[in-house]
């Protein structure tokens, strides 16, 4: 069994002194783990850093086997991302969530393109911080949809109206208008402005609103049913922006 595909490195976990189990998100084959001989050697270690884009060739005797990767570097994003603590933290949260939310070998080509664009943004220079935070917050929202738990924010779940949508139901993930949600105000989630306006550039507090919503649904719909918590690196990213909010309000 063989295939060749473009893939983004998510992790490389030590298997032996020189070998590693490498996880990549591929365009056509989804999340895939395989052995890489010599991945931890001095010559090849930098190739398998998270964020690098590779041409991955998988080979195994049977389809159900883990198999082996042989890879060629296409884009060395990791070296640039490592120079910025925020970009590195954001990449860590992305890769951890991707590994935690999806089954292996389940193709998500649109998700792959979204992740590729996000990683290239983190590795580049000159993108405003507000745009990076916005893209990350929308990544978590899109992640929910790709995992089969998309939020329905087009109209009020109670009335069917499209005006004055200010809440999101924590039970259904559907939008609720101010009037319909007023009696349940204390139990509703706030509808982030970032989700409403395509051209809107959020400030720290508005980005935090969106991360609270996506974090709630990631926890209750994907992680809690598996008796797991959100990745610590994702929590550290939220704490980062919480500190930004405190600095702004001080």
Per-domain residue ranges for the chain? 2-78, 85-249
CA 134 – CA 122 distance, rounded (Å) = 12
The DSSP H or E segment spanning 64 is none
The DSSP H or E segment spanning 185 is none
Q: How confident is the model at residue 198 (pLDDT cuts 50, 70, 90)?
A: confident
Structure tokens at 140: 């978590």
CA 59 – CA 44 distance, rounded (Å) = 19
Closest among 83, 78, 90 to 137, alpha carbons compared: 90
Per-residue pLDDT tens over the stretch 95-145: 999 999 999 999 999 999 999 999 999 999 888 888 999 999 999 999 999
Q: What percent of the chain shows pLDDT beyond 90? A: 88
Q: Is the pTM of this model over 0.85?
A: yes
| Whether the predicted pLDDT of 201 surpasses 90 | no
CA 92 – CA 88 distance, rounded (Å) = 6
| Angle in degrees, CA 110, 131, 120, rounded to 5 | 50
| Whether the predicted pLDDT of 250 surpasses 50 | no
Q: What percent of the chain shows pLDDT beyond 70? A: 98
Question: Homologous superfamily of 2-78 in CATH?
Answer: Nucleic acid-binding proteins (2.40.50.140)
| Whether the predicted pLDDT of 249 surpasses 60 | no
User: Was domain 85-249 assigned CATH 3.90.650.10?
Assistant: no
Closest among 44, 111, 120 to 78, alpha carbons compared: 120
Per-residue pLDDT tens over the stretch 55-72: 999 999 999 999 999 999
């Amino acid at each position: 069994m063989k295939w060749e595909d473009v893939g983004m490195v998510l992790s490389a976990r030590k298997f032996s002194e020189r070998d590693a189990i490498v996880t990549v998100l591929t365009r056509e084959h989804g999340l895939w783990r395989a052995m890489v001989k010599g991945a931890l050697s001095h010559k090849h270690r930098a190739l398998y850093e998270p964020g690098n884009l590779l041409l991955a060739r998988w080979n195994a005797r049977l389809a159900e086997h883990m198999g082996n990767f042989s890879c060629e570097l296409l884009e060395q994003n990791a070296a640039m991302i490592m120079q910025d603590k925020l970009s590195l933290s954001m990449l860590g949260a992305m890769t951890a969530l991707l590994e935690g939310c999806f089954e292996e070998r389940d193709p998500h080509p649109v998700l792959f393109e979204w992740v590729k664009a996000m990683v290239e943004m983190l590795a580049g220079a000159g993108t405003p911080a507000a745009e990076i935070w916005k893209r990350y917050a929308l990544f978590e929202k899109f992640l929910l949809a790709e995992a089969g738990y998309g939020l329905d924010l087009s109209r009020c779940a109670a009335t069917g109206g499209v005006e004055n949508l200010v809440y999101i139901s924590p039970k259904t993930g559907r939008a609720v208008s101010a009037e319909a949600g007023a009696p349940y105000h204390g139990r509703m989630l706030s509808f982030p402005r970032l989700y409403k306006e395509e051209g809107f550039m959020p400030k720290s507090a508005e980005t935090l609103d969106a991360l609270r919503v996506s974090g709630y649904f990631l926890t209750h719909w994907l992680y809690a049913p598996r008796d797991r918590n959100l990745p610590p690196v994702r929590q550290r990213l939220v704490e980062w922006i919480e500190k930004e909010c405190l600095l702004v309000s001080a």
